Amino acid sequence: MSGPFDPYHHWLGVSPKDQPPDHYRLVGVERFESDPGVIDSMASRHIEFLQEIHDGPHIKEAQKLLNELAAARRCLLDPERKAAYDAQLQAKLDQPLKPALVPRPPNPTVPVRPAALASTRQATVAQQAIPKRPPTRRWAKKAIAAIPRTRPRHIGRNRSVWMWNIGGTASALTLLVLGIWCFSDRDRSQRNHVALRGEPTPFTAIGANTPFSKREKIANKPIPSNQLLLWLDAGDRTTMVLDKASKISRWKDKSGNACHASVQSPDAHPQLVQDLLGNRPAVRFAGSQWLEIPKKSFLFQMDSEFTLLFVARGLRGTLLSKGTGDTKTSFALSSGVASFRAAGRNWDARDSDPSRFQVRSIVADRHNLRWYLDGALVGTYPNTDHAIKDTSRLRIGCFLRRGQGPESLFEGDLAELIIYDRSLPENERKSAESYLRQKWL
């Protein structure tokens, strides 16, 4: 009979002796790997595989591993967190292991039957009764021949086996080196596209979970790509599923994470309205429409470090939510587009005019939360409790309480929405804001 199901071993190849795995073993890279592109790619492959497990008896185990992979990926892609984790892991590895004392098993005793014991005694007596012959030359030669040789006769055979083993090992190592070289040469151009923190513009747009086959298709985009979670663009009509009245049933994500927003109610379709910003369209929410991103809740458990950038206008309702914003770990963009609500408190963008389109940015780290309007700092809130860990789905145009219908439905227009699972440094934030400003305003 097979033992209990082991998700680490069955899905990620982590043997029981390596459990619980460290972040590197969980992601599937060498310990202390320094290339964020390699870490991001391997974590993305595991996440994409586990996301395909939608039903079955082990759905809880899959969700647990997805949460652990997301946490490991966030830690290893953040330079400060990675340095602290590496120091902690190195200290743990430097601790000497105490050898376990294993008791030596007693020598087994073989029971002897009485009949066999009697026959053995009779044979011994018979041998003692036979007179011994004096030694002869022939007997001496046989005795000398019986002495074991210092060099066994099979030494030549062992030497040939030993030489074959060395040759096979050398051939296998040569093939392994050639395979690694070919693989790294093939992916070198793709890895060069991965944007690192502090890298100068222009940036590429390779999503956090983008497989290798799709990376070339979305390269050379004008926003940072590292830990990009969501990218909804009303200016790209190919990302929308529309009916004849331009009502949206699905808005596709451009980040590469497949965080597609879809309609969950037959009468909740927002509408794509043309020429709202010059000759560009935007998505209109008229107080009864909303969208939801299913099966991706774990990606948006962003803890205390995240960045939201959006071009929108609206006076009432909730533009974006994960939970209600009334409790810890949840948030809501309330009062139209002018306030960020978390843990029951509001942090407003000062001097904001929610009736007109602006490039709005919220940059949060472990120390404070900052609001920007068209690139200018309009609010700094230190020591805020803004960690996002709520397990509910990300919703656009409302928030939902458990067991109830949508509330605080948004009245306004959304042109573009971008979310990162990290606090963008100043140069990357300015680059993304410049792209949005030039495109929409």
CATH code where residue 417 lies: 2.60.120.200
Residue 396 has pLDDT above 80, yes or no: yes
Long-range contacts, stretch 11-19, CB < 8 angstroms, 24+ apart = 11/46, 11/49, 11/50, 11/62, 11/65, 12/46, 12/65
Of 23, 54, 82, the residue that ends a domain is 82
Question: Would you state the pLDDT for residue 405?
Answer: 83
Crossing angle between the packed helical segments 36-51 and 155-191, to the nearest 10 degrees: 90
What range defines the domain where residue 41 resides? 7-82
Is 262 contained in some domain? yes
Question: Would you state the pLDDT for residue 105?
Answer: 57
Confidence of residue 202 (pLDDT cuts 50, 70, 90): very low
**Which CA distances in Å does 347 have to 112, 344, 364?**
89, 10, 12
| pLDDT tens by residue, 84-112 | 999 999 988 887 655 545 555 555 554 54
Structure tokens at 428: 């990357």
Is 19 contained in some domain? yes
Question: Would you state the pLDDT for residue 78?
Answer: 86
For the residues 147-176, what does the mean pLDDT come to?
Answer: 62
Residue 266 has pLDDT above 90, yes or no: no
Return d(Cα 49, Cα 60) in angstroms, integer.
Answer: 15
For the residues 416-421, what does the mean pLDDT come to?
Answer: 96
In the block, which residue shows the tokens 């451009």? 254
Residue 4 has pLDDT above 50, yes or no: yes
63: CB partners within 8 A, 6+ apart? 298
113 or 191, higher pLDDT = 113
Is 267 contained in some domain? yes
Lowest mean pLDDT among 3-17, 94-108, 257-271: 94-108
Return d(Cα 287, Cα 308) in angstroms, integer.
Answer: 23
Structure tokens at 435: 């792209």
For the residues 66-80, what does the mean pLDDT come to?
Answer: 87
Give how many domains the chain has, as a whole number: 2
Is 394 contained in some domain? yes
Residue 410: which of 319, 341, 321, 337 has the closest Cα? Answer: 319
Is 343 contained in some domain? yes
Return d(Cα 416, Cα 232) in angstroms, integer.
Answer: 6
Is 218 contained in some domain? no
Cβ proximity of 42 and 209 under 8 Å: no
Cβ proximity of 430 and 421 under 8 Å: no
Is 424 contained in some domain? yes
228 or 122, higher pLDDT = 228
Of 82, 116, 144, the residue that ends a domain is 82
Highest mean pLDDT among 100-104, 154-158, 162-166, 260-264: 260-264
Residues 170/176/178/182 CA torsion (nearest 10 deg):
180
Is 257 contained in some domain? yes
Of 58, 82, 106, the residue that ends a domain is 82
CATH code for position 18: 1.10.287
Residue 303 has pLDDT above 90, yes or no: no
> In DSSP terms, which residues pair with 322 in a beta bridge?
331
In the block, which residue shows the tokens 């991103």? 293
Confidence of residue 212 (pLDDT cuts 50, 70, 90): very low
Mean pLDDT in the chain? Answer: 78
